[in-house]
Amino acid sequence: MKYTYLFINLFSLLVPFILSFESRIAYYKKWKYLFPAMTATAVFFIVWDVIFTATGVWGFNPKFVTGITVFSLPLEEILFFFCIPYSSIFAYEALDLSSKFKVQSSKFVSVLLLVVCTICVILFHDKDYTFYTCLFLGVFLLLQLLWIKGSYLGRFYFAYLVILIPFTIVNGLLTGSWIGEPVVWYNNNENLAIRFLTIPVEDVFYGMLMLGMSVSIYEELKTKKGL
C-alpha cells in the first residue's frame, strides 16, 4: 500500500509516455519546451504545497507513500507536478492535431471564470484553499486577458474539459474514492466542503491553474523558436 501514490503517478504517465514517440504527434521532439515549462510551474506549486502542508490545509496518509521526502513533501507529491502536466499537455497536443477541437469563445470563458474567482476571493477569504486557488487562477486569467492574450487558450479550454475525465479518476483515487482512505487529505475548514465523489471542488480550479501555467510557458517557448 505504501506505493499507492507512486503507482497512481506512474499509471497516469504510462500511456502518454509510450505514445510520445508516435509519428503524428512526435511529443518527444517537444520535450525541450515541455520540461522547462513543467519545471517552472512545479517550482511555484511545490512552494505553495510546502506552505499548505505545514499549515494543515492538506496532508498525506503515511500508509500510501514510500516515506521518502523532498522539501518536507513526499517524493510522490513532487512527481505529481511532473507526471500530470506531462500527460495533460500530451492530451492537449494530441487534440491539437485537429483545429476544430477548441472552445470558440475563449475570451468569454476567461471573463466568466475571472468573475467566479473574484466572487470566491471576496466571499471565502477565510478559507485558504478556496481563497488562494481562486486568487492565483484569477491573476493568471487577468494576465491572459490583458497581456499574454494566448491564441492557444481556446484549445486549452477544450483540452481541459477532456482532461477532466482522467483527472476525476486520478484525483478520485488520491482523495479516497474506491480505496477506502485518502492518499491526500484536505482540511474542510479551509475549503468549501463541496466534493464530487471525494474530490474538493477547488481541485478543478487548482488543476486548471497548474495546467494553464504549464501550457502558457510551453507555448511561449515554442513561439520563440518559431513553431
- What phi and psi, each to the nearest 5 degrees, are found at residue 74? -60, 145
Q: Give the span between the Cα atoms of 174 and 8, in whole angstroms.
A: 8
Q: Give the span between the Cα atoms of 80 and 131, in whole angstroms.
A: 22
What pLDDT sits at residue 72? 96
Contact 200, 57 (CB under 8 A): no
DSSP 187: -
pLDDT in tens, 114-165: 999 999 999 999 999 999 999 999 999 999 999 999 889 999 999 999 999 9
Q: Which three cell numbers stand for residue 125?
A: 477569504
pLDDT in tens, 160-205: 999 999 999 999 999 999 999 999 999 999 999 999 999 999 999 9
Beta strands in 27-151 (DSSP E): 58-60, 69-70, 73-74
**Most distant CA pair in the chain: distance in Å?**
50
pLDDT in tens, 6-56: 999 999 999 999 999 999 889 999 999 999 999 999 999 999 999 999 999
The pTM (predicted TM-score) of the whole model is 0.94
- What phi and psi, each to the nearest 5 degrees, are found at residue 25? -85, -40
